[in-house]
Amino acid sequence: MNLANLNKIARAMVAPGKGLLAADESSGTIKKRFDAIGVASTEESRRDYREMLFRAREAMSSAISGVILYDETIWQDAKDGTPLVKLIQDAGAIPGIKVDEGTQPLPNCPGELITTGLDKLAERLPKYYERGARFAKWRAVIDIGKSSSNSPIPSMTAISVNAHALARYAALCQAAQIVPIVEPEVLMDGDHDIDRCVEVTTRVLNKTFQELRVQRVALEGMILKPNMAIAGKKSNKQAGVSEVAEKTVRMLKNCVPASVPGIAFLSGGQSDEDATAHLDAMNKIGGLPWPLTFSYGRALQAAPQKAWAGKAENIQAGQNAFTHRARMNSLAASGTWTAEHEKAV
């Protein structure tokens, strides 16, 4: 393992004013997104859509440090035969790859999930590296609520096994000279308030870093992709922007070692503008040991998907919408965004 090189890549992923585009939706997820805009999800339409994003040169070169790809996408070529990974590289961004294989029910833990994909991961990683991937992503899913037996979740079992899998994945990535994005996502789907989110996320982060140390993962060669401290969507007690920012920053300071090169938040179902406003408010607090930036999927893509709508004549409109959202989040990553910027489309 060349830790100096891993650290260099990790720092480039959280470069000032830049963040990650999560374009790693599974075939099932992107079908739902395409269904919403009336577009058939085919290998060609998925390729065309992602090519549109990667050719948005202004957004890619000024605001996007890297792109997380799905397995199908990393092997695809653009219409003119150019590998999609080369489009990303030519824009000055770093290609990355989602390597987990989704979730399945966790035995003896009703309502809880375990992420799969460790089998043969060591064999897959060198192939991704050869194709151009320099970082990877693995997502663990932690829910808050009650199981079918009415016991509270998450259980310690779910937290432990998912943290262990994240650490195993991270160790394998570093051995293959690939920077791991460690993503323990506490979902915001329930009716819990922000303090319950902080409580659970703190447990998850502490266990994750404990497992990372056990697996001898070099913290200087990874990126953390956590959820923010946010109330569940069904909660009747929603927190304001400043409360989300303050409690998220406090939580991270309590859990995340300063040696981690950076933190790139997931949007987790927030609206476009909420995801931007929360990130900006955190960066306005300042005095943090690591850069805070974005690793957004839907919060960067909902607007361009709607503008594009699967029509070749709408490619420019889709790229303009993507460029705007990328610019907004670039400003937020620098702590210089205001609501007024949203009007300058």
Q: Catalytic positions, please?
A: 225
Checking DSSP bridges between strand 135-142 and strand 113-115, what pairing results, if any? Answer: unpaired
Angle at 249 between CA 247 and CA 253, to 5 degrees: 115
Q: How many CB atoms lie within 10 A of CB 258?
A: 10
Q: List C-alpha distances in Å: 227 to 44, 69, 81, 116, 194.
A: 32, 20, 37, 20, 12
Q: List C-alpha distances in Å: 83 to 74, 93, 145, 169, 293.
A: 8, 14, 43, 27, 27
Instruction: Give the span between the Cα atoms of 227 and 207, in whole angstroms.
Output: 15
Alpha helices in the chain (DSSP H): 3-13, 27-36, 43-54, 57-63, 71-74, 84-90, 121-131, 156-175, 194-214, 241-255, 272-285, 298-308, 315-333
* In contact, 342 and 273? CB cutoff 8 Å: yes
Report, in angstroms and rounded to the nearest whole number, the Rg of the chain calculated over CA atoms: 19
* In contact, 235 and 188? CB cutoff 8 Å: no
